[in-house]
């Protein structure tokens, strides 16, 4: 699929314990992206998303704002080629 990309993003700020992972899953599902989201031990949240680059960028824009209870400080992006083995979007632990 032309334009398919993957991005690993690390979101910092007050992003754990505020529904951030489930917000991310809902947004990714709405956009038709594949991948996963998980909390990291340092209090940040890691997101891996695959899909059309423009659609992944829409997700990143949503992550920069987060749900109402979150206070996002930064979204660090790392673009890569997609693995192609992601099915759906899930919350992992």
DSSP string, 47-69: EEEEEEHHHHHHHHHHHHH--TT
Q: Count CA atoms within 13 Å of residue 39 on its CB side.
A: 14
Confidence (pLDDT) at 2 = 53
Q: How many CB atoms lie within 10 A of CB 84?
A: 10
Q: Examine the pLDDT at 18 and tell me if it is beyond 80.
A: yes
The answer, as to whether pTM is greater than 0.85, is: yes
Span of 15-19, 44-48, 83-87 with lowest mean pLDDT: 83-87
Residues recognised as catalytic: 21, 39
Q: Which of 2-6, 7-11, 82-86 has the highest mean pLDDT?
A: 7-11
* Topology of domain 4-84, CATH: Alpha-Beta Plaits (3.30.70)
């Amino acid at each position: 699929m032309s334009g398919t990309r993957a991005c690993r993003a690390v979101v910092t700020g007050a992003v754990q314990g505020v529904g951030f992972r489930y917000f991310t899953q809902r947004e990714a599902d709405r956009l038709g992206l594949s991948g996963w989201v998980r909390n990291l031990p340092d209090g940040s949240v890691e997101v891996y998303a695959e899909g059309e680059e423009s659609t992944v960028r829409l997700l990143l824009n949503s992550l920069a704002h987060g749900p109402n209870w979150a206070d996002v400080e930064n979204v660090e992006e790392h673009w890569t080629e997609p693995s192609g083995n992601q099915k759906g979007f899930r919350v992992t632990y």
